[in-house]
Copies of this chain bind each other. A is one copy, B any other.
Amino acid sequence: MDLEAAPENASLCPGTRRRGDVLEQAIFDAVLDQLGTVGYDALTMERVAADARTGKASLYRRWPCKEELVVDALNHRLPALDDPPDTGTVRGDVLELLGRMRRTINSPTGCAIQSLMGSVQRDRGFIRAVHARVIEPRKRMMMEVLRRGAERGEVRPEAVTMLVAESGPALVVHRFLVDGPPITRRTVEAIVDQVVLPMLRPDARP
């Protein structure tokens, strides 16, 4: 937020005005910042406008209500859909996937997502956006990684299931919820080596 404050203050010189996309991006920044600091319920149009150094009218000109603004901001700020990694080993692939997750979670966007957790059961709009942009692609990539690992003989075939694919990400999220950010690289490595890989070992039940 401080890294954002500088450019915002820079454009503070009275008489200067942004429009179109530039203004919109500033508004999205303000929304994400608010989500991460005070949360969705306490996010107000007034404060978003003030933070983005614009007027409420400019918000209502674009979005009819708070919810649509937030969903739109999420859709513009959630990480893009990536290709699954292919490092040659399951360990490398899983490490890479959880590493990406770690970066997202440690970013302002991650804090924003976290603050929406409590609204999940009530506002399906957010969870739908997060689902489509974060959860689903990540799950698909993890399954792909497991499948390739099974083909290479690194992973026992029965371990290629949704629940197994979820276990790594679930632990990362769990750590985030319990300990708060940031998730360290060591934590991710421990999750991979202590939990995910032992679960995949093909050399059991010979």
**Interfacial residues, chain A to chain B (CB-CB below 8 A):** 38-42, 111, 114-122, 131, 135, 159, 161, 163-164, 166-167, 169-171, 173-175, 177-178, 180-181, 190-191, 194-195, 198-199, 201, 203-206
Q: How far is the CB of A90 from chain B (nearest CB, A)?
A: 14
- How far apart are the CA atoms of A181 and B38 in the complex, in Å? 26
Contacting pair A198 B159 (CB below 8 A): yes
Q: Give the nearest-CB partner of A205 in chain B.
A: B203
14 A-B pairs besides A198-B201, A201-B205 with CB distance below 8 A are A40-B41, A41-B41, A41-B42, A115-B118, A115-B121, A120-B180, A135-B178, A159-B198, A164-B195, A167-B171, A170-B170, A170-B174, A173-B177, A198-B198
Chain B residues with CB under 8 Å of A171's CB are: 163, 166-167, 170
Interface of A is mostly: helix
- How far apart are the CA atoms of A117 and B126 in the complex, in Å? 15
Q: Give the nearest-CB partner of A173 in chain B.
A: B174
Q: How far is the CB of A198 from chain B (nearest CB, A)?
A: 5
Chain B residues with CB under 8 Å of A203's CB are: 204-206
- How far apart are the CA atoms of A29 and B133 in the complex, in Å? 37
Select one of B115, B161, B174, B194 contacting A169, CB under 8 A.
B174
Contacting pair A190 B204 (CB below 8 A): no
